[in-house]
Amino acid sequence: MYRIAINAVVGIAFTAILAHAAGVQPEKRDLPVDHGCIPCKGGDRAYYKAASHAFAMVDRKLIAEGKASFGQTFEEGYQPKLCEAHGVNCVTAGKGVTWTGGTKHQGLTAPVGRWKREDGTETIAWPYWQSTLQWTCDGGSGTTYNAHCTIFTCAKGTMRADISTGGSVQGDGQGDDFAQNVCGCFPRHYLDTDITFTQMDESS
């Protein structure tokens, strides 16, 4: 079972709150509540425990499949079954979109699966409750902070983010150096939410 650190009191809400933070990229020390998300009702602790329990209950066969995915290449359109598990969030990167994480910056815990496809897309899975994770593309960037009873996702420049449980955010199309960061709080079914980052000219 993965141990995940608790940061502070932050959010649960029942509608997406869009925030335009001009030129401000969320940093790891920022919390969703600092950007307009509503805190977990009664504090983080019970929700953190619930997220940890949900991941602990994931079918071990799916966990094993996730571990086996690293270093492999999958066919176009492949959808990992682990992404359907309660307590797991998957982030898919479209063509030309790259995760900035590496051996030192993987989230609060390392990914539990990574599926690279033949068409240049990939999907990465984490247990819910992570620090800020970032992706980049030509002229844009995107982040998601999956913790504190919400999915806090931002897109900048040419990046777009689609949320599986409903909603999306997209940058203003300007070059990343001059673009505004567009963010949203997506608390609905946050333990089961997946995110897809694409370059806007690809998804338009």
Is residue 27 over pLDDT 80?
no
What pLDDT band is residue 21 in, cutting at 50, 70 and 90? very low
Token look-up 């066969």 returns 61
Instruction: Catalogue the long-range contacts made by 26-33 (C-beta closer than 8 Å, 24 or more residues apart).
Output: 26/132, 26/143, 26/145, 26/152, 26/154, 26/181, 26/183, 27/132, 28/131, 28/132, 30/132, 30/145, 31/7, 31/145, 31/148, 32/145, 32/147, 32/148, 32/150, 32/152, 32/185, 33/9, 33/148
Q: What is the pLDDT of residues 38-56, one digit of tens each?
A: 989 999 999 999 999 999 9
* Residue-level pLDDT at 188: 94
Q: Residue 53 and residue 87: Cα distance in Å, rounded?
A: 8
* Residue-level pLDDT at 29: 58
Predicted TM-score of the model (pTM): 0.84
Share of the chain above pLDDT 70, in %: 83
- In terms of DSSP bridges, do strands 73-74 and 17-21 run parallel, antiparallel, or are they unpaired? unpaired
What pLDDT band is residue 106 in, cutting at 50, 70 and 90? confident
Is residue 135 over pLDDT 50?
yes
Query: Which of 139, 118, 39 minimizes the C-alpha distance to 76?
Result: 118
Q: Which of 78-92, 97-111, 178-192 has the lowest mean pLDDT?
A: 97-111
Q: What is the pLDDT of residues 115-128, one digit of tens each?
A: 999 999 999 999 99
